Amino acid sequence: MLEVKDLHVYYGAIHALKGISFKVEDGEIVTIIGANGAGKSTTLRTISGLLRPKTGEIILNGVHLEKMKAKDIVKMGVCQVPEGRRIFANMSVQENLELGAYLRNDRDGIKKDFDRVFSLFPRLAERKSQIAGTLSGGEQQMLAIGRALMSRPRIILMDEPSMGLAPILVEQIFNVIKEINSEGTTVLLVEQNAYMALVTAKKAYVLETGNIVMGGTASELLNNEEVRRAYLG
């Protein structure tokens, strides 16, 4: 479904991604794990069109994305849940969700997706008129995921969805990721909580200082001695 080939990305003189390549098949959950500064967020931002690669290819179902504008990539069915949630703090929960559907005009479909988001996150239904900036961290993460779902993505890119959350909420968010995937949405997950990422995903890659140094099934990496020592304590 998604193929990244020999991707090189720079921030000025800093070589952030050094020729990474990986694939995401339709219907999979694929995770990229790695330390802070490894290039995980840069990878997602480049796929989303927020950063331009110097060289390399990003191909979604045969269509090249690397020179497209971010809004056109959303139209192609790619949506990102950004690190730090990035909700619209001065707007209501309802308005944040409506903005997720800003490229759509299928009123019935949008109503169905509101119902879907509220069934995944009943707490958002209870707070739909509340100003989003007053929500708890966990509720804001739910809103960020719900907002992405409102674009009806074919593939959803998740950047550190468990960051700053209490353990019970981390478990809840990962259960929702599995549920979203079971309903047919492909997931590319970037996550520092390597254990939760590896028990949730089907396939995994390890990113270190802009290079993919390991890849395989998530269970292979979960049982790999080197990965356990470096990322699982």
CATH of the domain at 33: 3.40.50.300
Question: Per the domain annotation, does 230 fall within a domain?
Answer: yes
Q: Which residues contact 152 (CB under 8 A, 6 or more apart)?
A: 77, 101, 104, 109, 113
Q: What is the mean pLDDT of the chain?
A: 93
Would the pTM count as exceeding 0.85? yes
Question: Per the domain annotation, does 9 fall within a domain?
Answer: yes
Question: Per the domain annotation, does 108 fall within a domain?
Answer: no
Question: Per the domain annotation, does 84 fall within a domain?
Answer: no
- Which phi and psi angles does 140 have, rounded to 5°? -65, -35
What confidence score (pLDDT) does residue 160 get? 92
* Structure token pair of residue 124: 């958002």
What confidence score (pLDDT) does residue 164 get? 85
What confidence score (pLDDT) does residue 84 get? 78
Question: Per the domain annotation, does 96 fall within a domain?
Answer: no
How many domains would you assign to the chain? 1
**CA-based nearest residue to 191, from 6, 36, 11:** 36
What confidence score (pLDDT) does residue 36 get? 87
**CA-based nearest residue to 205, from 13, 44, 10:** 44
Question: Per the domain annotation, does 211 fall within a domain?
Answer: yes
Could you give the C-alpha distances from 95 to 18, 71, 128, 133, in angstroms and in order?
A: 39, 19, 8, 12
Domain hosting 219: range is 1-77+186-233
What confidence score (pLDDT) does residue 210 get? 96
- Residues 100-114 have pLDDT tens digits of 888 888 888 889 989
Report, as an integer, the average pLDDT of 45-65: 96
